[in-house]
Structure 1
Amino acid sequence: MNWIDVWGDDIVHNKKIYITVITLFFISALVTFFLYEYEMYLINSGKNFMSVNETINLYKKKKNINENVDDLIELARLYSVNKEYEKSKEYLLKALEKEPKNTIALHRLALVYENLNDFNKAIETRQKLVDIEPQKPENHYYYAILLLTKDINVSINEIELAVKYADESDKQFYMEMLELFKNSSKFIDEEKYDGYIDIINSKFLESNNNVKLEIIKNIRSKYRNLKIEDINKLENLEKEIKNNKIN
């Protein structure tokens, strides 16, 4: 037997296997890369058909995810959609470490704090937005909504600023809001909680269920001499708001 020939055959055979393995590896890597790029294209073009969790996992696979502010903000948004507000807060704070005046991150962080019932932090964040963009009426609007949990008169001041800076197309909305808040404050100044109820039931707090619940909590704390019918009224309103949150 010619051992050189046998050994040579093994080398050729092993070389073929090696080349095949390497080729398959690169093909697999290319397929993975192009699938990833295609999925990211679908997301960025608004044609994403993946679930929220699948999209989150895809984003987390991105290289240098913690270096890209836009990716951090989008990942935070996805966690908010999943109602994972602590995770959302984590990524928004990372984004703000890099860009402290990023208004999109600040806006979403304020919403996250609101959903976590951390109204002090939510108000603090809205204040930053007002400081950065004082001429944007929506900043004063969102700030005013949160301030209802503290002081309606300060809230009114913010709505007046929203009216001042609003375009003609939006001015009527803010003027209606201002009128309601001013009328409601008269009741509140007279130690009547009805003014708060009018605001809670208005279109201006339609999507702010946590703020509504916080106002009811404050009513119970402030008005110690509530009658039984008042207590029942507040309890029914609270149940209705909580049901809306679930639905």
Structure 2
Amino acid sequence: MGNFSKQVAIITGAASGLGLVIAHKLLNEGVHAGLLDINESMLRDEFAEYKDHSEIVGLDVTNEDEVRNAVYKVIDRFGKVDILVNCVGITGMTNLRSHEVSSENLQLVFNVNFMSCFYTSKMVLPYMLANNYGRILHISSIAGKEGNAGMLAYSASKAAIIGMTKVQGKEYAESGITVNALAPAVIQTPLVDAMPEIQVKYMTDKIPMKRCGTLEEVANMAAFIVSKESSFTTGFTFDLSGGRATY
């Protein structure tokens, strides 16, 4: 892996789950990082040892103004942004058929999972364009490729992320900026722990390796995707599914 020591990253959802482990991985590799999450106190607890290398921002990622101000804050502190990793996400209500899904819950899941990725990428892209360099990684899901029964809001929002990744990858392909997505299958996180057991079993049974992915596996893949070495892949959705996705 390349040297991240002079790079600046912004990571959303950094207080827990995938965001937490990816943030630790990149900080350990030498980045300066803007760490964004609604739970500011948890961010401060988790990253106390990195105060000289991190800017902690508590915010609501569904609020475009708050996202804009958060990016400004990171830029003011570190002067640029090279990497954006969008990890924030919720499943919403699950184990429901489509006619049972509430419009309010569907909108909430889209706001958190999709709109937050749009807001953050919209804000950082002008800075990346000015430097002719950038790496954007949106965390999607295998559910966004295949659709999980009982998870309409989550599956559709993650599919929307894949669609945006394809568009952004094409739009900025000649600018030194890559935009990719990562589609994990079931990863052992607090998000998964909170889901109904029947829903988790439905997803895990589809994995040929017959196990959940680990947070470390996600962090290692993410670090490669946002590295300088990963320079000829854009608009692509990387698989992390234990063999579930074969296309």
Q: Name whichever structure is richer in strand by fraction.
A: 2
Higher relative contact order by CA 8 Å / sep ≥ 6: 1 or 2?
2
> TM-score under structure 1 normalisation?
0.30
Q: Which has the higher helix share?
A: 1
